[in-house]
């Protein structure tokens, strides 16, 4: 009998085995700050903001089974919170990001409560409508004094504090990286603990979960709120990175992008968010080079192909490869 500490071959990245990979990734991420030019740093920052947003959506849809086709709305709320607080309140940027999280938590919970009665398809419908309506709501003329209407709000990327020898791009990238690490840690804690088990139990069989003492109403609405908070933080970071918020950045297609990211990365996985974020950041650009109008068509085809061929996304593929490798390794039981 081997004395190894490994669990089942299909285990997700779990301490202590996964830690070297994580540290390597972190070191590479920090190295990018000094090796890359301004525009690449901007793209990396956007990848991080999408990754946080995707963690949020995955928390709701992957781990809790509530389908949301309108998460772009929460991304927009996070972004506009930053815009409004900076523009009209003079709040420093590092306070705006947690503020965006809190506001999105409240809005998400408020949406999640009536959504308790909706399941599956009907929730997808309601959130689809939310996603379509978001730009219209942002353009509403009675809110123009705050939101800047169609023109939106212009922001300025913050400079490095304490006179550090970093450019604004570099500093904000490191800030986003730190935020991403914190959000991932929070998510990991949430998912691995009792809350995460409750959330997944609701996804797998909500009636059995309820009869085992899991308060469905509480967990489902809190998950909605938490998911919205994560996505809002992503939106907040993106607002500062792009230095501009406007209603037309947050159309239905943003919600669809987030969905694509979750499906590509792996539904119900944490690290899938990174793969998904890289995908939705770079693939539209590549697709546009092939054909300007068909860029979105590529998304659609990718969605359908992934569902048929790789329903577990990239993380699912990695898990399958790892399982196969461990099954074929010498010394493994037949």
Partner 1 sequence: MEAFLQQLFAGLATGGIYASLALALVMIYQATHQVNFAQGEMAMFSTFIAWTLIQAGLPYWVAFFATVAISFVIAAVIEFTIIRPLHKAPELSVVVVFIGLLVIFHSVAGFLFGSQIKQFPTPFEPTAWYGTSYLSPHQVGTIFVALCIVAALFAFFGFTTLGLKMRAAAQNPGSSRLLGVNVGRMLMLGWGLAGAIGAIAGMMVAPVVFLDPGMMTGVLIYAFAGALIGGIDNPVGAIVGGFLVGVLENLIGSYIVGTELKLSVALILIVGVLVVRPAGLMGRVVVQRV
Rounded CA separation 287/36 (Å): 24
- For residue 303, state whether it binds partner 1 (rule: CB under 8 A): yes
Q: Decide whether 53 or 241 has the Cβ nearer to partner 1.
A: 53
List 11, 106, 132, 317, residue binding partner 1 (CB under 8 A): 132
Q: Which of 49, 73, 40 shows the shortest CA–CA distance to 249?
A: 73
Burial 67-77 (b: 16+ CB within 10 A, else e): bbbbbbbbbbb
- For residue 65, state whether it binds partner 1 (rule: CB under 8 A): yes
List 19, 286, 301, 327, residue binding partner 1 (CB under 8 A): 301
List 209, 267, 278, 283, residue binding partner 1 (CB under 8 A): 267
Q: Decide whether 174 or 252 has the Cβ nearer to partner 1.
A: 252
Residue 61's SS3 state is helix
Q: Decide whether 10 or 301 has the Cβ nearer to partner 1.
A: 301
- For residue 273, state whether it binds partner 1 (rule: CB under 8 A): no
Contact 139, 247 (CB under 8 A): yes
List 125, 242, 323, 326, residue binding partner 1 (CB under 8 A): 125
Residues 234-263 as x/- pattern, contact with partner 1 by CB under 8 A: ------------------xx--x--x---x
Q: How far is the CB of 100 from partner 1 (least distance, A)?
A: 22
List 6, 136, 189, 217, residue binding partner 1 (CB under 8 A): 136
Q: Give whole-number Cα distances, 239 to 108, 154, 281, in Å.
A: 19, 9, 15
Q: How far is the CB of 307 from partner 1 (least distance, A)?
A: 5
CA atoms within 13 A on the CB side of 46: 14
- For residue 130, state whether it binds partner 1 (rule: CB under 8 A): yes
Instruction: Give, as one character, the DSSP assignment of residue 66.
Output: -
Burial 146-176 (b: 16+ CB within 10 A, else e): ebbbeebbebebbebeeeeebbbbbbbbbbb
List 1, 16, 117, 331, residue binding partner 1 (CB under 8 A): 117
Q: How far is the CB of 253 from partner 1 (least distance, A)?
A: 8
Binders in 159-178 for partner 1, by CB under 8 A:
none
Rounded CA separation 120/326 (Å): 36
Contact 77, 213 (CB under 8 A): no
Q: Decide whether 157 or 206 has the Cβ nearer to partner 1.
A: 206
Q: Which stretch binds partner 1 (CB under 8 A): 33-41, 98-106, 109-117, 240-248?
A: 109-117
Q: Which stretch binds partner 1 (CB under 8 A): 7-15, 116-124, 156-164, 227-235?
A: 116-124
Q: Which of 296, 294, 299, 297 shows the shortest CA–CA distance to 279?
A: 299
Q: How far is the CB of 206 from partner 1 (least distance, A)?
A: 11
The CA-based diameter of the chain, rounded to the nearest angstrom, is: 71
Q: Which of 254, 224, 227, 260 shows the shortest CA–CA distance to 239?
A: 254
Contact 37, 217 (CB under 8 A): no
Q: Which residues bind partner 1 (CB under 8 A)?
A: 61, 65, 67, 69, 114-115, 117-118, 120-122, 124-126, 128-130, 132-133, 136-137, 139-141, 207, 211, 252-253, 256, 259, 263, 267, 291, 293-297, 299-304, 307-308, 311
């Amino acid at each position: 009998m081997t004395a190894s500490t490994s669990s089942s071959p299909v285990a997700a990245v779990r301490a202590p085995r996964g830690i070297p990979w994580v540290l390597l990734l972190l070191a590479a991420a920090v190295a990018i700050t000094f090796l890359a030019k301004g525009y690449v740093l901007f793209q990396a920052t956007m990848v991080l903001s999408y990754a946080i947003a995707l963690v949020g959506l995955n928390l709701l849809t992957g781990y809790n089974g509530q389908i949301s086709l309108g998460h772009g709305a929460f991304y927009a709320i996070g972004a506009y919170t930053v815009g409004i607080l900076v523009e009209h309140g003079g709040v420093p940027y590092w306070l705006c990001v947690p503020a965006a999280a809190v506001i999105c938590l409240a809005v998400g919970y408020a949406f999640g409560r009536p959504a308790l009665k909706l399941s599956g398809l009907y929730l997808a419908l309601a959130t689809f409508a939310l996603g379509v309506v978001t730009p219209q709501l942002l353009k509403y003329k009675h809110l123009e004094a705050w939101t800047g209407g169609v023109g939106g709000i212009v922001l300025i990327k913050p400079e490095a504090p304490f006179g550090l020898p970093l450019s604004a791009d570099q500093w904000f990238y490191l800030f986003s990286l730190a935020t991403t690490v914190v959000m991932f840690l929070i998510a990991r804690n949430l998912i691995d603990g009792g809350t995460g088990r409750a959330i997944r139990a609701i996804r797998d069989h909500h009636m059995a979960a309820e009869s085992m003492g899991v308060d469905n109403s509480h967990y489902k609405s809190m998950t909605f709120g938490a998911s919205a908070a994560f996505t809002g933080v992503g939106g907040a970071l993106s607002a500062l990175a792009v230095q501009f918020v406007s209603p037309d950045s947050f159309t239905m297609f943003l919600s669809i992008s987030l969905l694509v990211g979750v499906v590509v990365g792996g539904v119900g996985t944490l690290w899938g968010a990174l793969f998904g974020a890289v995908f939705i950041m770079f693939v539209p650009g590549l697709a546009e080079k092939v054909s300007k109008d068909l860029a979105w068509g590529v998304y659609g085809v990718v969605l359908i192909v992934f569902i048929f061929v790789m329903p577990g996304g990239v993380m699912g593929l990695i898990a399958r490869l790892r399982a196969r490798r461990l099954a074929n390794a010498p010394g493994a039981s037949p």
